Each structure stands twice: as C-alpha cells, then as structure tokens.
C-alpha cells in the first residue's frame, strides 16, 4: 500500500505539472512561449508561496523601458499614462534651444556605454548593456539628439542636422557603492570639459541642486514613482 500511495502521488504531481504546461493564460504573448514545469514538485511549492520579493529591474518592468515622464528645471513633461516624447511643451523647448532641456537631453544621449551600430541602409541601432540605457538613448534620438557614432574616445551627436563631437576623457562606471555612473567629456567645439552623471535619486539629487523648491519637486517625483510601482504590482 505504501508503494502504491507513492506511485499515485508521483502521478498526481506529474499531472499537476502538465496543467501548468497546458495553461493558456501562462503564455508569453510576444514570443508565444508556453510555460514549462521543469520540476514535478513545483505545484506543491507554489502553494507555499506567500510573499514575492523582487527588485524592479526587468521583473516588474517586463524588461521594457518607456520614457514617459521627466522633470527639467522644476517643469514636468509627459504624464503618467502618456509619452513624454509627444509632449508639445518638451518638443518646443528642444526646438527653441532651452539650455536646461538641451543639457538634460545631452546627458541622456552620451552618459552611457552604448555603442551605435549603423546598418547598410543607414539606420542606427544601439547595443546597450541595459534596457534603461537603451531607452534613454532612444528617447534622446526622438528629441533630435541622435547618438550617431563612437570612434575610440570620440562621440558624435547629430542635433538638428549639426554634428557635435565630444572627446571622452574618462568613464566612471556604475557601482553599487556609488549608485551612479559618470563620464568626463570635452566639447570639441569650444574645449569645455563637463562631468555628466546619472544614477539613483539619492546619489544624484544631493549634487544637483539645493533648496526648498527642489525638495518639493523631488517629493512629487518620489510619490509618483511609488504610485506607479504600486499600480504595476496590484493592477497589472
């Protein structure tokens, strides 16, 4: 009887695993890849899961990054449900040459380790180490700040049909301690040297600006981010 019970349990576990394989609601819509239970005991383990702890990168974002909102000089562009790249005010600020906006978009375009690749047709694609870098470079390109070439330590940006060259003097890659990455570049047109940084809010904001007005803006950004994550978790 003991042997028969063990055999019955193994058969039931195998059948439960097949239910996971057959479940049409567990299919990746983009690749049409079905779920697959590699362990017959996985159904038992699922019943014991009470909490799932995860970081936000790739897991909650489905490994897709979309540039939806930004705050430049205390001005918000885009909205929670829309696309900042279609914001008329942001597009007008770029076209009019707003210094704050141009600097912001420049950092998006060149503060990274992305490599532009030009196809035979002239189309440019990007090889990025992470989805966020790719999303930022793509967004900058949509705002007319196109990263077109990287040759040794020289970067070329096409901004409104004008080529701007920067020489990369040093790159400080992202680390968990610094929580940011930085590049030191020289504008080949005027010889000015800039330190450009991007990273976690707690690592960047203390160096960005001080004052009560900026503090209120930061609180709004933090609240909006937490609200979006909450909706992503509980209302996917």
Q: Which residue has the higher pLDDT, 223 or 140?
A: 140
Report if residue 41 sits inside a domain: yes
Indicate if 118 and 32 belong to the same structural domain.
no
Indicate if 117 and 214 belong to the same structural domain.
yes
The pLDDT tens digits for 20-44 are: 889 888 888 878 888 888 877 777 7
Reading the block at residue 67, the tokens are 């540039």
Q: Which residue has the higher pLDDT, 97 or 236?
A: 97
pLDDT at 181 over 50: yes
* pLDDT, mean of residues 44-62: 69
Indicate if 111 and 181 belong to the same structural domain.
yes
Q: Considering 55, 170, 187, 201, which one is annotated as catalytic?
A: 55
Report if residue 95 sits inside a domain: no
Total domains present in the chain: 2
Q: SS in 3 state form for 78-102?
A: CCCCCCHHHCHHHHHHHHHCCHHHH
Indicate if 219 and 147 belong to the same structural domain.
yes
Report if residue 52 sits inside a domain: no
- The pLDDT value recorded for residue 36 is 84
Structural domain containing residue 27: 2-46
Reading the block at residue 34, the tokens are 């079905």
134 is catalytic: no
Indicate if 201 and 121 belong to the same structural domain.
yes
pLDDT at 82 over 70: no
Indicate if 138 and 228 belong to the same structural domain.
yes
Indicate if 213 and 143 belong to the same structural domain.
yes
E-strand stretches of 14-160: 27-28, 33-34, 70-72, 75-77, 115-118, 124-127, 145-151, 154-159
- The pLDDT value recorded for residue 47 is 74
Report if residue 165 sits inside a domain: yes
Output the CA angle 149-152-157, nearest 5 degrees. Answer: 25
- The pLDDT value recorded for residue 105 is 94
Indicate if 112 and 204 belong to the same structural domain.
yes
- The pLDDT value recorded for residue 230 is 38
- The pLDDT value recorded for residue 229 is 38
Indicate if 128 and 212 belong to the same structural domain.
yes
What is the distance between the alpha carbons of residues 54 and 56, in angstroms, rounded to a whole number? 7
- The pLDDT value recorded for residue 175 is 87
Q: Which residue has the higher pLDDT, 40 or 223?
A: 40
Report if residue 67 sits inside a domain: no
Report if residue 42 sits inside a domain: yes
Indicate if 136 and 216 belong to the same structural domain.
yes
- The pLDDT value recorded for residue 90 is 92
pLDDT at 140 over 50: yes
Report if residue 92 sits inside a domain: no
- The pLDDT value recorded for residue 126 is 92
* pLDDT, mean of residues 81-99: 87
pLDDT mean across residues, the chain = 81
Indicate if 26 and 136 belong to the same structural domain.
no
pLDDT at 224 over 80: no
pLDDT at 76 over 70: yes
pTM of the model: 0.66
């Amino acid at each position: 009887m003991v042997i028969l019970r063990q055999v019955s349990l193994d058969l039931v576990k195998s059948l439960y695993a097949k239910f996971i394989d057959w479940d049409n609601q567990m299919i990746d819509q983009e690749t049409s890849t079905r779920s697959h239970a590699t362990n017959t005991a996985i159904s038992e383990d699922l019943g014991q899961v009470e909490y799932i702890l995860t970081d936000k990168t790739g897991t909650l974002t489905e490994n897709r990054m979309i540039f939806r909102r930004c705050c430049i000089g205390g001005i918000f562009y885009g909205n929670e449900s829309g696309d900042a790249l279609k914001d008329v005010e942001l597009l007008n600020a770029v076209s009019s040459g707003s210094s704050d906006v141009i600097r912001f978009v420049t950092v998006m375009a060149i503060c990274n380790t992305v490599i532009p690749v030009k196809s035979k047709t002239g189309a440019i694609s990007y090889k990025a180490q992470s989805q966020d870098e790719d999303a930022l470079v793509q967004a900058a390109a949509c705002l007319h700040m196109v990263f077109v070439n990287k040759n040794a330590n020289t970067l070329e940006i096409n901004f409104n049909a004008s080529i701007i060259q920067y020489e990369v003097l040093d790159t400080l890659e992202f680390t968990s301690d610094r929580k940011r990455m930085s590049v030191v570049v020289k504008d080949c047109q005027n010889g000015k040297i800039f330190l450009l940084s991007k990273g976690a809010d707690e690592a960047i904001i203390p160096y960005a600006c001080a004052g009560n007005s900026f503090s209120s803006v930061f609180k709004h950004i933090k609240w909006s981010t937490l609200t979006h994550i909450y909706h992503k978790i509980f209302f996917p």
